[in-house]
Structure 1
Amino acid sequence: MAFLFDLKALVDMMSIGTLLAYSLVATCVLILRYQPTYEGPKYSPEKAALAAAERESAVSESRINMIEENRFHLQALMNPSSLPTEQTANIVNFLVGLLACLICGLSVLITYGIHFIAKLEPWSIGLLALLVVSFVVTVLLIQRQPQNQQKVAFMVPLLPFLPSFSILVNIYLMVQLSGETWIRFSIWMALGFIIYFSYGIRHSAEGRHSNGDDDSCSENSGLQEKNPIEEVDEPENTNERDQFLSHERTSEC
């Protein structure tokens, strides 16, 4: 590749791809750490009896909780629950998207408006202060949300400050690259999306797995549809056998 292409252009393409990958990893760390944990209930007779007894009362309570969780209001943002829920996860998703937009604006301003900032232009200073304050407030709001308590082998420390700083540095370095690099990168990304959406989705292993599950479900449903007929036929066959056996025994007697 270095023999065929210009070395600087090749290094810039590698740099922008690597920085984008690191930014996506840091973003996913922020999103996944604040997701609620879903664990399947373990079966036991006592728990089953309790669940059956409390199911009716829990239905109305779950409906009320679902309505409350879907509301995005200031109280849930400032005083969230102690454990992560769907509501807190949605809040973090929104804040992470807002954080990415603020970082992009801040990086562009620092890169292309540094001369205006050096001259102490009022609009540049005001915009810089607004972006910095919004960035800090967004990070603090993310920090107030409850994190997932599930322990894994390695967990990123200083959340959400370290991933947010990583996204800031990576996007700032990406903005420093030339416009030609961004054009090449956009063309390659467009080709990648065309290949992915035209071929990758329809030929993915996950798609084949889901189709296989559908086929197995349809086969199981067909078997289930045949079972009642067999169950209906079996009593008739048993009655005929009983009549034949009883007739045989009477004749022998």
Structure 2
Amino acid sequence: MTGNTLYRTLCRKKTFTAEDTEPGKEKFRRVLTVFDLTSLGVGATLGSGVYILAGTVAKSIAGPAVVLSFVVAAIVSSFSGVCYAEFAGRVPKAGSAYIYSYVTVGEFIAFIIGWNLFIDHTIGTASVGKAMTNCLDAILGDPQKRYMKKHYPMHVDFLGEYPDIGSFFFIMLIAIVLAWGVRKSSTLNSVFTVLNLLTVGTVITSGIYFANLSNWFIPKSEIPVGVKGGEGGFLPFGWTGVVVGAARCFYGFIGFESISTTGEETKNPKKTIPLAIMFSLLVATLVYVGVASVLTLMWPYYDQDTEAPFSVVYEHLGMPVIKYMVTCGAIFALFTTLLGCLFPIPRILYSMASDGLLFEFLSIVNEKTKTPLVATLISGLGAGILSTVFNLEQLVEMTSIGTLISYLIVCVCVLILRYKNNDTEVRDNDTNIDSNNSFFNSWFDLANAKIPNADTQFASRILISIYTITAFVFCICSVNIDCYGGAYQVPIVVTIVFTVAVLLIIPIVLNRLPQAIENLMFKVPFVPFIPCLSIVLNFYLMMELSYKTWIRFGSGIIIGIFIYVIYGARNSIEGKKQSVSEDIKDGQIQKIAL
């Protein structure tokens, strides 16, 4: 394979024919509404963390200002959310960030993203299944834990203490529900999401009754000796605590991207999916802010319990009934999160298999249930096995990185498409460009072009590439600056200053370039600034993850690349289309020559 052929193979893009979008040709049943998708997004986002995360961040990171941390995290999440919303309107197909990047960036990057999402959601499903059985087992007095540790202990360092059979059966039960039909699983998800929100509403209402505003303004002199309470007041750990807390709270908003995998099962997806993404983020923000507010108003922030804050607070307040309601709410939340985590996996596998990048049997849609039955059961089996042999801490460490990478890619893709030259035949006739000044005209748009052309498209892609690389370098240096001292800090500080200057200049230059004029149901506002900011923030959060997470991520990617090389690259539908097109072109050339 020549270098040119290899490049064309890795960068070939997904195209849709009239047959692909023709009404009546869908394999799935379009039954999902805005309410269904919002319930899916809220259920996937508001897991058990809604009852735990606020107490953890308030105790030693942000104090009562955890409320502001959730607001900041919501704003940051919305940056990625609006990018997903625009892409959902552009490409209303199953596959989430995989299909978005396939249309925009190319096949190889799309495969890596799709494979990465598959791994990430599978591990996430396993971790939620594990958390659910741990919760139920604890309520019943740990019968499974005691029995399995006694008769079937696992004395392996990188595995759990015992095989968690309960979590395996829970996950397989959810997989069967999802395979049964999207309408039935969506209804069940909506019921448990409503029950979870009713529990949250009860918590917030009772919290308002017991609220004491003085708990937001506790002076330092009243903080017990030996307790890590900062400087007291509403901002005991300063604005730094708010920012650090926001980074922790950000993970509480992960899950809305599950909505974007329903493109072929949704009524009017170009309108419904963007609305559902925005609504789910809004509901999640209101819930998190409300829960964080009442928790820190009911009880001093420095005395919060990090594992079960609400249960402990209600026990102190002498309200055991609400304490048990919170426990039930956590179970409802875990159930909906389990549905939300497992739901996208078979859709991603189906989409990749339909494109020929994964094995064909994964693209089979059952005629009766109208779901990717085989892919759903295989997804449940894989997640169930992981939850059986690993413990919860190990699973949690392996999550999030795939989601953050998909957020990053979607933001980059939005930038690429906004500055794309959609009509190669069009020339900008409104300007007289001097060839000697073509560099300045294309890069700074001194000629004030109204629509993108080949020059401005090329300039934008170079700028986007430089911005992405610079953001990566800036985040690595920023996260690791405290690890080095003395003379080593000087080059790091210089690098940070230089990269900050580049990160500020490039969006301004990009803003000077013309953007494509398109009629979309939803468009990201303030382009290029919002996608650019989201790129930096997603890189920063990825850099905060441990090196073990990156090693596991790298191992999974290597396996994926192996599958792509031996199967995907050879069986790609787009590759076959490309070959047919080239054969036709060669035939025409030979005919002309004759």
| Pairwise TM-score range, normalised by the shorter structure | 0.5 to 0.7
- Is 2:386 aligned against 1:18? no
Contact residue 26 and residue 163 of structure 1 kept, 8 A: yes
- CA deviations on 1:198-235 (whole Å, 9 max, x unpaired) are 2112111223334455677899999x99xxxxxxxxxx
Which sits farther off after the overlay, 96-105 or 210-219?
A: 210-219
The residue identity in structure 2 corresponding to 1:8 is E
Distance 1:133 1:195 in 2: 41
| Aligned equivalent of 1:73, options 439, 444, 461 | 439
Change (3 A) 1:219 1:96: closer
Partner of 2:541: 173
Deviation at 1:138, TM superposition (A): 0.9
TM-score (norm 1): 0.67
Deviations 1:89-138 (A, max 9, x none): 11111111111111111101110004669xxx654443322211111001
More helix by share: 1
Tell me the distance in 2 between the aligned counterparts of 1:123 and 1:138: 22
* Change beyond 3 A, Cα 1:12–1:208: same
C-alpha distance in 1, partners of 2:460/2:425? 24
Residue of 423, 429, 432 corresponding to 1:38: 423
Pairwise CA RMSD: 3.5
| Cα distance in 1, alignment partners of residues 549 and 515 from structure 2 | 38
Kept in 1, the 8 Å contact 2:404–2:542? The answer is yes
- SS in structure 2 at match of 1:113: helix
User: What SS does the corresponding residue of 2:389 show, helix, strand or coil?
Assistant: coil
Shift of 1:161: 0.7
Is the 1:37–1:150 contact (alpha carbons within 8 Å) kept by the matching residues of 2? no
Higher mean displacement: 189-198 or 97-106 = 189-198
Distance in 1, Cα, partners of 2:467 & 2:438 = 18
Please identify, of 23-32 and 148-157, the stretch whose mean Cα deviation from structure 2 is larger: 148-157
In the alignment, is residue 204 of structure 1 matched against residue 575 of structure 2? no
For 1:92 and 1:220, locate their aligned partners in 2 and report how far apart those are by CA, in whole Å: 35
* Distance in structure 2 (CA, Å) of the matches to 1:114 and 1:216: 60
Q: Could you tell me whether the CA contact under 8 Å between 1:9 and 1:181 is conserved in 2?
A: no
Please tell me the residue identity of whatever aligns with 2:396. Answer: V
Q: For residues 19-38 of structure 1, give each alpha carbon's deviation from its aligned partner in whole angstroms, at most 9, with x where no partner exists.
A: 00110000000011100122
**TM-score after normalising by structure 2:** 0.30
Contact kept in structure 2, 1:26 and 1:167, CA below 8 Å: yes
| Residue number in structure 1 paired with 2:519 | 151
Gaps in structure 2 of 5+ consecutive residues: 1-385
Please tell me whether residue 29 in structure 1 is matched to residue 29 in structure 2: no
Matched, 1:4 2:4: no
Instruction: Evaluate the alpha carbon distance shift between residue 114 and residue 34 of structure 1 in structure 2; reply closer, same or farther with a 3 A threshold.
Output: same
C-alpha spacing 1:75/1:179, structure 2 compared with 1 (3 Å): same
**Contact 1:92–1:145 under 8 Å retained in 2:** yes
Q: Per-residue displacement from partner, 1:49-83 (whole Å, max 9, x unpaired)?
A: xxxxxxxxx9xx9xxx9x959x9623431225221
Matches of residues 196-235 of structure 1 in structure 2 within 5 Å?
Answer: 196-212=564-580
Is 2:408–2:538's contact at 8 Å kept on the other side of the alignment? Answer: yes
Q: Equivalences for 1:117-196 in 2 at 5 Å?
A: 123-196=491-564
**In 1, are the aligned partners of 2:472 and 2:539 still within 8 Å (CA)?**
yes
Amino acid at match of 1:76: S
Residue 9 and residue 20 in structure 1: after superposition, are their counterparts in 2 closer, same or farther (change >3 A)? Answer: farther
Contact 2:424 2:453 in 1 (8 A): no
Shift in alpha-carbon separation, 1:82–1:216, aligned structure 2, 3 A: closer
- The letter of the residue matching 2:548 is E
- Indicate the structure (1 or 2) with the bigger Cα radius of gyration: 1
- Partner Cα distance (1:9, 1:102) in 2: 32
Change (3 A) 1:2 1:84: same
Alignment partners' CA distance in 2, 1:163 and 1:184:
28
Per the alignment, residue 234 of structure 1 pairs with: none
Offset of 1:194 from its aligned partner?
A: 2.0
Deviation at 1:193, TM superposition (A): 1.6
In the aligned structure 1, how far is the partner of 2:387 from the partner of 2:435?
58
Q: Structure 2 vs 1, CA of residues 132 and 203 (structure 1 numbering), >3 Å: closer, same or farther? A: same
Q: Number of aligned pairs?
A: 200
Aligned to 1:48: none
Q: Percent identity?
A: 28
CA distance in 2, matches of 1:75, 1:220: 38
Counterpart of 2:502 in 1: which secondary structure? helix
Cα shift at 1:14: 2.6
Gap change, CA 1:9 and 1:68, over 3 Å in 2:
farther
Contact 1:111–1:175 (8 Å) recurs in 2: yes
Provide the residue aligned with 2:469 in structure 1: 101
Higher relative contact order (CA 8 A, sep 6+): 1
For 2:478, give the aligned amino acid.
I
CA 208–34 in structure 1, closer or farther in 2 if over 3 Å, else same: same
Q: 1:178 to 1:72 in 2, by over 3 A?
A: farther
Q: Is the 8 A contact 1:23 1:170 kept in 2?
A: yes
